[in-house]
Structure 1
Amino acid sequence: MPKLSDTRLTKSVVEAAQPGQTISDSEVRGFRLVVSKSGTRRFVASYRIHGRSSMKALGAFPTFTVQEARDMAREVLRKVRAGVDPHVEERAAREAEEAAKNAPTVESLSKVYLEDYAPSQALRSSTIRHARQLSRIAIEALGSKKVEAVTITDIRKLHGDTRAAGIARGTKGVYQANRLLALLSKLFSLAIERGWRNDNPCRGVRKFPEDQRWQNLSEGEVKRLLRACEDYAAGLRPVSPDDDPETVEHKTKPLPETERSATDREAADAIRLLLFTGARLQEVLKAEWSQFDLERGLWQKPSAHTKTKRIHRLELEGPALETLKAMFERKSHSVYLFPGSTEKRRKSAPVDINSGEPVGIGPRADLKHPWRAITALAGLEGVRLHDLRRTLASFMLSGGSTLATVGKALGHTQASTTARYATLEDSVQREGLKAAGERMVGSSEL
């Protein structure tokens, strides 16, 4: 059948078309009907772009009417005149759709941070642990959402919901909400680095105001704490309500000799060192004897153990040095000041033939149980281990040390950080106010 041209396509023309026939529409140039040998009637848009002839299928008859197909052809040919190849556009749309399906979610971004970024940056184990806890909150709310689709509204809502949930539990949810906001900001900064989005939706979300959380022990409280350390090392324990009523009135009870171990004294020593040196918990627990020069009174903390990732050289004197020397005389491990795993330290444990130490032993992980018992013995409530660091700063400042000296002792890199840590004792503040007021009164009488 010969090809028909300059024929306006209508329903009757389409229905009368024969197999193998191609009919061009006289109304829209490039709009055609193609009939296959099996008789299937299809509408196409024929065009030429960039020196190449091409054809785009529009649909079959009668699924599409002639007019519907003609309108589609007009749109295709309009794009061609504008220099857009419909096939290229269609392929790009498919690729974009496929990319959208495979685009990273908030959950996968969190996984990249915890399993890739954090280890590569040698973040502290405690930092990773806290990030993992916070990421669960983010994943529960936004886990399945695409990274590029998260908005500032999503972040602001999650920030507020986290605060509200904390308050409902009876805690100050602002702290957790703000820590979560900080983590999310880091996650989306990482997403920008990886080309997963172009902006950080956390920008513009304000942190909730926080009360400064700190507690410095007074001179009397420090004495009670040190006394409690001695009692704990000697086997004394606080009495709980479940204990024998005959001992409850004494508030303490001695631990049986069979239940005492070297770890009791070591835990007490660790708390003394935290107080006397102002070091961070992991700096103390991971300390090795090779870091110390007890003759010269020096402790060189390796960068891997410090929060600032810098070597911190601390000069030791007084109770701090005396405590370390006494510990060295009775040390239970040649490497660690505070070795962990009581089970591995038993006499029957396998021993490394080179070091002579129990196989697989490492530094102690925490002081949670000893700290709880020691603060109970001392009658101190709501005191955290980190408050010992603040207490040293306060004592140093009240004793006449400058902020720079305090900052160097604590390993701070910013003076503003030291200023938040170091507060004068109440008696020093009172004496200062009194002296200033007396000078003012005296000057007004002149």
Structure 2
Amino acid sequence: MAEKKINFTKAVLDALPLPDAGKRDTYHDLKTSGLQLRVTSNGVKTFSLFRRVKNGSPERVTLGRYPDMTPEQARNESVRLNGLLVQGINPNTDARALKTETTLQELFDEFLKHRRNKRGAFLSEVTKRSYRYDFALYLEKWGKRKLSQFKDTDFSKLHADIGKEHPTTANRVIAMASSLFGYAAERKLFKGANPAQGIKKFPETKRDRFLQSDELPAFFKALAEEPNDTFRDYFLIALLTGARRSNVLEMAWSQINLERAEWRIPTTKNGEPQTVTLSPEAVEILRNRQGCHAVWVFPGAGATGHIVEPKKAWARVLDRAGLDNLRIHDLRRTLGSWQAKTGASLAIVGKSLNHKSPSTTAIYARLDLDPVRESVERATGAMLAAGGLKASGEIIPINKRKQA
């Protein structure tokens, strides 16, 4: 292998002859100590820095290929790396460590498997699903990046970009990212400051939107006109039970006892099961849906077997009803609001909606379903009466089946 000293300029490097097949020539720069150019027989030219480190062992650090890297860039990088080597810092050691370092995707996968909440329980499936959705939408683009390669500016910019239209979502994504790096530090997968911590959150306004008395007639009329009975019934059950959107989507026949008018949700957002009382109108809807599917109450054509994304159907309903700024989650708030309007205590509302609050947990524990059932039936009856679908005290079948 020939070794020659030359002045690294574009003209000189372009004119270098190719070595024989299977051979490689190495050229040393006259101006910069340790800077080399290795030339292979197929014409690949690679800059590298070669020198002995403190213990006397030889180290070669690859810098880049010519002409993508210019001679001047190679010299500047050599000077920088020479300074590190003098301090006993070996760039190759860092590079080798980087190859085996955890990526963001690997961290996220482990986080979902092993992370526990403040009560010591593993993350619920509902929480995992929410994390997966936000990760896929905003962080998956960085999935292959090593943890040490992240900077606080990455997350501050991401937060600002998302916050231009969705400030609450921006806060949620950054909180998740901060939790990921906090978990990585706990598991000794990451050293240094948490790059997603300390970012000032956007102010959030809690939503207080729910269906008012004068909106209910148009809303129920729009639901009755919905051609897809699966989505129509889904929205009705979401309203009449106040259950979370994801739980209603995954409602299974095995969870329902129509004789007791109860729906047992095995896992909710707070990681605990919930028994939901079913009003007579909700029972009627479910009876009419029996036989639609062996497993799911609201079947869908996708891989899960149940409907997953009702946004298009929801948009159709709102358009027919002439309503805006109403989300599917607002149906849950609507039931709670009508319970309060019809005289239910905050404890009853919290029990029926499965809210967790330190100040009311002890009260919840002493409540059975009877007062909850009375409150839910009173509230749903009032809503249906306000919507013009029933007289006070009347029970009616509100979902005569339509063909999809």
Query: What TM-score do the two structures reach when normalised by structure 2?
Result: 0.58
Q: CA deviation at 1:372?
A: 1.6
For each residue in 1:133-156, what CA deviation from the matched residue of structure 2 results, as whole angstroms up to 9, or x when unmatched?
A: 12046x39xx75x53364545544
Larger RCO: 1 or 2 (CA < 8 Å, sep 6+): 2
Letter in 2 for 1:177: A
For each residue in 1:208-234, what CA deviation from the matched residue of structure 2 results, as whole angstroms up to 9, or x when unmatched?
A: 2122234111022123212221122xx
The counterpart of 1:363, out of the listed 306, 319, 328, is 306
Is residue 396–residue 406 contact of structure 1 (8 Å, CA) maintained in 2?
A: yes
Which ranges in structure 2 are unaligned for 5 or more consecutive residues? Answer: 1-51, 59-86, 115-122, 362-378, 380-404
**Structure 2: distance between partners of 1:176 and 1:381:** 20
- Tell me whether 1:185 sits opposite 2:128 in the alignment: no
Q: CA deviation at 1:99?
A: 4.6
Partner of 2:316: 373
Change (3 A) 1:176 1:363: closer
Partner of 1:332: 292
Partner of 2:136: 132
**Structure 2: distance between partners of 1:412 and 1:192:** 32
**Structure 2: distance between partners of 1:134 and 1:361:** 23
Partner of 1:220: 214
Partner of 1:431: none
Counting only pairs closer than 5 Å after superposition, residues 249-328 of structure 1 correspond to structure 2 as: 264-303=228-267, 306-328=268-290
Q: Name the stretch that deviates more: 267-276 or 204-213.
A: 204-213
**Structure 2: distance between partners of 1:382 and 1:150:** 37
Structure 1 vs Structure 2 CA RMSD: 3.6
**Structure 2: distance between partners of 1:135 and 1:57:** 43
Q: Secondary structure at the match of 1:279?
A: coil
Q: Secondary structure at the match of 1:380?
A: coil
**Structure 2: distance between partners of 1:56 and 1:361:** 59
The counterpart of 1:411, out of the listed 336, 354, 372, is 354
**Number of residue equivalences:** 272
Partner of 2:28: none
Letter in 2 for 1:175: T
Partner of 1:159: 159
Partner of 1:194: 187
Partner of 1:112: 107
- Tell me whether 1:391 sits opposite 2:334 in the alignment: yes
Is residue 230–residue 268 contact of structure 1 (8 Å, CA) maintained in 2?
A: yes
Q: CA deviation at 1:207?
A: 0.9
Q: Secondary structure at the match of 1:220?
A: coil
User: Which structure has the larger Rg?
Assistant: 1
Letter in 2 for 1:110: Q
Q: Secondary structure at the match of 1:266?
A: helix
Change (3 A) 1:56 1:311: closer
Letter in 2 for 1:406: V
For each residue in 1:38-63, what CA deviation from the matched residue of structure 2 results, as whole angstroms up to 9, or x when unmatched?
A: xxxxxx9xxxxxxxxxx96599xxxx
Change (3 A) 1:203 1:213: same
**Structure 1: distance between partners of 2:151 and 2:308:** 40
Letter in 2 for 1:276: L
**Structure 1: distance between partners of 2:359 and 2:96:** 46
Q: CA deviation at 1:189?
A: 1.4
Is residue 134–residue 173 contact of structure 2 (8 Å, CA) maintained in 1?
A: no
Q: CA deviation at 1:385?
A: 0.6
Q: Secondary structure at the match of 1:299?
A: strand
**Structure 2: distance between partners of 1:205 and 1:411:** 31
Letter in 2 for 1:400: G
Is residue 156–residue 205 contact of structure 1 (8 Å, CA) maintained in 2?
A: yes
Change (3 A) 1:320 1:416: farther
Letter in 2 for 1:217: L
Query: What TM-score do the two structures reach when normalised by structure 1?
Result: 0.53
Which ranges in structure 1 are unaligned for 5 or more consecutive residues? Answer: 1-43, 45-54, 60-88, 236-263, 343-359, 419-424, 426-446
Q: Secondary structure at the match of 1:219?
A: coil
For each residue in 1:336-366, what CA deviation from the matched residue of structure 2 results, as whole angstroms up to 9, or x when unmatched?
A: 2111129xxxxxxxxxxxxxxxxx8822223
